[in-house]
Amino acid sequence: MERRVSIQWTTTAKSQLAALPLKVRRGVLRKADELKSCADPKQAYKPLRGPLQGFYRFTFGRFRAVHSVDEECLANFDVLVHVRITFIAVGQRKVRDRKDIYRIAEKLVDTGLISLNDVGDDMHDASHDT
């Protein structure tokens, strides 16, 4: 059984890539090349979470690319791994002020990354401390 990796870009991700400076484009493309030589892209790259479960990411400097990985079993029992690059996040996360910590916490709850029970217990305890 052989595994082959096919890499594709969505039109949207390609447009995002096209908007980047040449040096960055080449760096991102080189990183994408590494996906091809990877035996199992699902294991080699860190998965995103919550609503973006099923997507993975790779980075080049301060740029992050998001991709999906789907496996297709062929008639000869070979496996074709489809990697589709869907999004490039430009820039680095900014250092945010304290208020944003609460905004992020709300998002964590909204997206199911942490449960309301976790937060609720602590909030309940905190309300009794005051």
Partner 1 sequence: MVGDATIDISEARKQLNSLDKRLAEGEPIIYVTRHNKRAFAIVDIECLSAILDTLEIMSDPESFNTFQQSLADIREGRIHDHEDVKRELG
- Single residue of 3, 12, 34, 74 touching partner 1 by CB under 8 A: 12
Question: What is the SS3 assignment for 122?
Answer: helix
CB of 100 to partner 1, least distance (A): 10
Please state the closest distance from residue 75 (CB atom) to partner 1, in A. 22
Q: Is 54 in the site for partner 1 (CB under 8 A)?
A: no
Token pair 């996906």 in the structure block, residue: 35
Contact between 118 and partner 1 by CB under 8 A: the answer reads: yes
List the one residue from 43, 73, 103, 120 that touches partner 1 (CB under 8 A).
103
Which DSSP letter does residue 41 get? H
Residues 14/86, Cβ–Cβ less than 8 Å: no
The DSSP letter of residue 60 is E
User: Binding to partner 1 by residue 62, rule CB under 8 A?
Assistant: no
What is each CA distance from 59 to 19, 27, 99, 118, in whole angstroms? 17, 10, 28, 31
Contact positions vs partner 1 (CB under 8 A): 6-14, 16-18, 25-26, 29, 32-33, 36, 46-52, 57, 64, 66, 68, 84-87, 89, 93, 103-104, 107-108, 111-115, 118, 121-122, 125
